[in-house]
Chain A
Amino acid sequence: MWQKAGGGMTTVEVLVIGIGGFIGAVLRLLLSDLLNHKRRMPIGTLLVNLAGSLFIGIIFGLGLSKMWTMFLVSGFAGALTTFSTLQKEVIEQWQSGRKKDAVYYVILTYGIGIMLAYIGYFIVSI
């Protein structure tokens, strides 16, 4: 599979995505550790997903070069935001009886997140 994937990715591109991914994952870890504890909402996860959505909209709107896009979109924003943790947190909220929180969390993340990507994309396109 790696061979097939390699068809479109050079060593430099793999490195660039990797460095972006490193920074994104570390930033998400720090924000989650700082904000996720002892609260009804996983504010850290919510914040990275919303900020990452706004960011990706802006980057797409700017239409940067392939290398910058790989660094900032595939690497940084991709690793900063997360889907698996979001879904796991929703399931855990629901199963611990905090059904209202789970619904709010879904609406906030998906609703505001997609809206922010749209806003970011439009702000720089005009």
Chain B
Amino acid sequence: MRKVMLVGIAGMFGAILRTAIGQWMGEGSHFPIATFTVNMLATWLLCFFAAGVLQKIIHNQQIIDAVTVGFLGAFSTFSALSMETVLLVESGRIVLAILYVGFSLVGGIMIGLFGFYCGRKLVAA
């Protein structure tokens, strides 16, 4: 029960911060840059932590779950990516829609691998 509460509270902050960054970055360009940025940031952090960094500094599994599942899970989003892709296609920007999905997938894998790499370096150090 405590785990559920902690994940929920962390998720609350993740959602608020994501929306705040979205409003701060605005909708100046056609490319959904805000969602892309939070998704890349969250993926790097999650993989960085998953490499053992978080276990090294925090020994409470419930806190670790709150940070990873709660905060980073809610901070990043897949539904916005889906909807933004649909809206890009709807407005006739097919190429941009394909680029957005492609950059998210490939960029997410690359930045995740980089996160794991940085995490392992730090843990080994």
Chain A interface (Cβ < 8 Å from any Cβ of B) = 1-2, 4-9, 14, 17-26, 28-30, 32, 49, 52-53, 55-57, 60, 70, 73-75, 77-88, 90-91, 106, 109-110, 113-114, 116-118, 121
Question: What 19 new A-B contacts, CB under 8 Å, besides A25-B15, A29-B7, A75-B15?
Answer: A17-B15, A17-B19, A18-B12, A20-B15, A22-B11, A24-B15, A28-B73, A29-B8, A56-B79, A56-B82, A57-B82, A77-B77, A81-B78, A82-B73, A84-B75, A85-B72, A87-B43, A90-B108, A118-B86
Q: In the bound complex, what is the Cα–Cα distance between A60 and B82 (angstroms)? A: 12
Contact call A90/B42, Cβ cutoff below 8 A: no
Say yes or no: is B45 at the interface (Cβ < 8 Å to chain A).
yes
Choose one: A7, A79, A109; the contact of B11 (CB below 8 Å).
Answer: A79
Nearest CB in chain A to that of B45: its residue: A84
Contact partners of A23 in chain B: CB under 8 A: 8
CB distance B112 to A88 under 8 Å? Answer: yes
Chain A contacts of B113 at CB under 8 A? 91
Selected from B8, B20, B47, B112, the residue in CB contact (under 8 A) with A5 is B20
For B21, the chain A residues whose CB sits under 8 A away are: 1, 5
A81 touching B69 by the CB < 8 A rule? Answer: no
Nearest A residue to B73 by beta-carbon distance? A82
Q: Which residue of A lies closest to B111 (CB)?
A: A87
Q: Give 29 CB contacts A-B under 8 Å.
A: A5-B23, A17-B16, A18-B13, A20-B15, A21-B11, A22-B9, A22-B11, A25-B10, A53-B78, A56-B80, A60-B86, A74-B22, A75-B15, A78-B19, A79-B73, A80-B79, A81-B77, A83-B39, A83-B77, A85-B72, A86-B78, A86-B108, A88-B50, A90-B109, A106-B105, A110-B105, A114-B82, A114-B85, A118-B86
